[in-house]
Amino acid sequence: MFSYCTDPQTLSGLTWLSCYLTNGKHLVFYGSFLTVMALLIVTAPASLLFGFVGASAAQSHIAPLRWLGHGYTSIVRGVPDIVFFLFFVIALDQGFEWLRQKIKCPDWDQPIRQGNDFIVCAQAKLPLSNAPQWVHEVYGFSLAVLTFAIVFGAFAANVIYGAMRAVPHAQLETAEAYGMTRRQTYWRILVPQMWVYALPGLSNLWMLLIKATPLLFLLGVEDIVYWARELGGMKSNVFAYPHPDWRLWYFLGLLVFYLLLTRVSEIAFGALTARLSHGQATAAGEDLRKAAT
Amino acid sequence: MKPLILSAAALTFAASMAYAGSHTVVRMATEGAYPPWNFINDSGEIDGFERELGDELCLRAELNCEWITNEWDSIIPNLVSGNYDTIVAGMSVTDERDEVIDFSEQYTLPDPSSYISTDPDLDVSGAVVAAQTGTIQASYVASSGATLVEFATPDETVAAVKNGEADAVLADNAYLAPIADQDGDLYLLDKDVLIGGGVAIGLRESDSELKAKFDAAINSMKADGTLNAMIVKWFDDDLALFE
């Protein structure tokens, strides 16, 4: 990056370090922090959506929907994350390719499974094998978001389901007495009030999601833990910047990053709880009312 | 959800743009953590013996190749699932692997596996030996009676010996020799074992057309001596040459 970095062997001390920390590999490492943040920012609302739909289905008056909602939460919560991330993604990918095969190559007559190989026609590959690498990366990232959203959505669904049940029943009865329809009661009374009950559980999930991001590497996305391990490992003389095992320092850096991220999240959730507690029939809402008078 | 939709749109766009023959791009997967075979260099690019070899093979076979990294653990499942077309990752030919995937002509002769340890007189038969998960060395240690500890990357096996978690590492000689040269605390034990065949490109069993192209390219590099020159360049005398 700097002009004096052309021959790393001649450098020492701080100049060596400044060149080392700005070489191409480190820039990729810094970029991977953005990947992790992007994953969090996209996955959190997506899992909330999955959770909300799951909880609504589990609450539904229509029996098949209710079974679907309960089935989703029980099955996904019961499967170990790592199993889910290792096998589900390959299955999902193959499922997509199979569907595309049905549409794009209707006259394909060879079997899809030949021995161990999974083979679809070239037009059905997802992404196409001749697509540029960034398309493959975006696709991998989208699969990661979808998988994370399904897993964390199941937990969120359970939290939201519990929160919906925690809204005082008198509120719903009052709404009914005012002549609101079931739909109106749901959207105007139940949903706005349940968030404050859901928040502690959801903030837990958010913290778990932050800590689960290293699972990204299982999905083929190179995240900060992958790069820290790769950069910190002992480097022999084949490399321009040989060094002994420095993983401790890299992982210390990650520790600081994760602690900062969780601390900031705690503060944000604190503020959100205070905001949502206004006028609520909860202990926190009561405290707010007293403080105001 | 929006980025999801956007990326889906990007995918369909790329899909409608770029379709041509089946192998217009050959995707080559490697581990990127096994110097000098394959590693990620300081600019963040895949480098090493296999990178240089693979590029030359693609040139000779007139293929348009693209390199990607994949974790060792899942490198075979992703190949058979079609996420890439070849494995070029220092993978020795074994009967077990040959049942699942196909191998090209071997581009190195069988490399004996060596032990390194902090104790030059270690008796490996009763020792704790570290090896990378899913390697021929790991299954050898497991059946040899020594205690096996497995790690996901080769680098971690060496670190385990340095911090005392294991007594020795068993890995390819060509990987361990430069490490023992450079590190004064680690010694190559005088106990080489020959496991597995030479190293070759892994391909899907159904992909015989691509296999034929790589076989021809490897044979032409063997014939004109460029393969031997490349082996000397990356391994000095740690790896045997073709006759």
Q: A88: how many CB neighbours lie within 10 A of its CB?
A: 19
Judge whether A229 is closer than 8 Å to chain B, CB to CB.
Answer: yes
Report the share of chain B in percent with pLDDT over 70. Answer: 91
Judge whether A217 is closer than 8 Å to chain B, CB to CB.
Answer: yes
Judge whether A98 is closer than 8 Å to chain B, CB to CB.
Answer: no
Interstrand relation of B26-30 and B86-87 (parallel, antiparallel or unpaired): parallel
pLDDT surpasses 70 at B34? yes
Q: Are residues A132 and B48, on separate chains, in Cβ contact within 8 Å?
A: no
| Partner-chain residue, chosen from B8, B22, B80, that has the shortest CB–CB distance to A116 | B80
Q: Please determine, for the modelled complex, whether the ipTM score is greater than 0.90.
A: no
CATH number for the domain whose boundaries are A23-292:
1.10.3720.10
pLDDT at A71: 93
pLDDT surpasses 60 at B11? no
Mutate to test the interface with A, among B1, B2, B5, B11 (most CBs of A within 10 A): B11
- Provide the 3-class DSSP secondary structure of residue A234: coil
CATH number for the domain whose boundaries are B113-188:
3.40.190.10
Q: Are residues A28 and B20, on separate chains, in Cβ contact within 8 Å?
A: no
The closest alpha carbon to B107, from B215, B8, B190, belongs to B215
pLDDT at A126: 78
pLDDT at A64: 94
pLDDT at B153: 87
pLDDT surpasses 70 at B124? yes
Q: How far apart (Å, rounded) are the C-alpha atoms in residues B67 and A174?
A: 64
Nearest CA in chain B to A216: B71
Judge whether A42 is closer than 8 Å to chain B, CB to CB.
Answer: yes
Query: How would residue B19 be classed by pLDDT, with cut points 50, 70 and 90?
Result: very low
Question: Residues B57-111: pLDDT tens digits?
Answer: 999 999 999 999 888 888 998 898 888 999 999 999 998 899 999 999 999 998 8
Tokens 């370090």, located at residue: A17
pLDDT at B21: 43
Alpha carbons within 13 angstroms on the beta-carbon side of residue B94 total 15
The continuous run of DSSP H or E covering B14 comes out as helix B2-18
The continuous run of DSSP H or E covering A274 comes out as helix A247-277
Identify the segments of chain A with pLDDT beneath 70: 1
Average pLDDT, chain B: 86
B-chain CB neighbours of A28 within 8 Å are: 44
pLDDT at A89: 80
Q: Are A40 and A114 in contact (CB under 8 A)?
A: no
pLDDT surpasses 70 at B7? no
B-chain CB neighbours of A86 within 8 Å are: 74
Alpha carbons within 13 angstroms on the beta-carbon side of residue B180 total 23
Query: How would residue B171 be classed by pLDDT, with cut points 50, 70 and 90?
Result: very high
Q: Are residues A127 and B14, on separate chains, in Cβ contact within 8 Å?
A: yes
pLDDT surpasses 90 at B181? no
Q: How close, in Å, is residue B220 to chain A by CA atoms?
A: 26
Where along chain B do its domains lie? Answer: 21-110+197-235, 113-188
Nearest CA in chain A to B97: A116
CB < 8 Å from A in window 52-111 of B:
64, 66, 68-71, 74, 77-78, 80-85, 100-101
pLDDT at A1: 63
pLDDT at B78: 86
A-chain CB neighbours of B202 within 8 Å are: none
pLDDT surpasses 60 at B8? no
Judge whether A208 is closer than 8 Å to chain B, CB to CB.
Answer: no
Alpha carbons within 13 angstroms on the beta-carbon side of residue A223 total 23
Nearest CA in chain A to B18: A131
- Provide the 3-class DSSP secondary structure of residue B30: strand
pLDDT at B18: 38
Q: How close, in Å, is residue A64 to chain B by CA atoms?
A: 26
Over residues B140-165, mean pLDDT: 90
| Partner-chain residue, chosen from A97, A119, A141, that has the shortest CB–CB distance to B206 | A119
Over residues B159-173, mean pLDDT: 91
Interstrand relation of B147-151 and B128-132 (parallel, antiparallel or unpaired): parallel
Nearest CA in chain A to B32: A230
Is B113-188 the same fold as B21-110+197-235?
yes
pLDDT at B23: 65
Q: B75: how many CB neighbours lie within 10 A of its CB?
A: 20
CB < 8 Å from A in window 2-21 of B:
3-4, 7-8, 10-11, 14-15, 18-21
pLDDT at B22: 52
Contacts 24+ apart (CB under 8 A), A159-162: A159/A51, A159/A198, A159/A201, A159/A202, A159/A205, A160/A51, A160/A52, A160/A54, A160/A55, A160/A194, A160/A198, A160/A202, A161/A54, A161/A55, A161/A58, A161/A59, A161/A69, A161/A73, A162/A197, A162/A198, A162/A201
Q: Are B136 and B91 in contact (CB under 8 A)?
A: no
Q: How far apart (Å, rounded) are the C-alpha atoms in residues A140 and A28?
A: 17
Return the minimum-mean-pLDDT range out of A74-88, B26-40, B63-77, B127-141. A74-88
- Provide the 3-class DSSP secondary structure of residue A121: coil
Query: What architecture (CATH level 2) is domain B21-110+197-235?
Result: 3-Layer(aba) Sandwich (3.40)
Nearest CA in chain B to A246: B159
Q: Are residues A233 and B81, on separate chains, in Cβ contact within 8 Å?
A: no
CB < 8 Å from A in window 210-229 of B:
none
Q: How far apart (Å, rounded) are the C-alpha atoms in residues A36 and A212?
A: 10
The continuous run of DSSP H or E covering B149 comes out as strand B147-151
Residue B36 preceded by cis peptide, ω within 30: yes
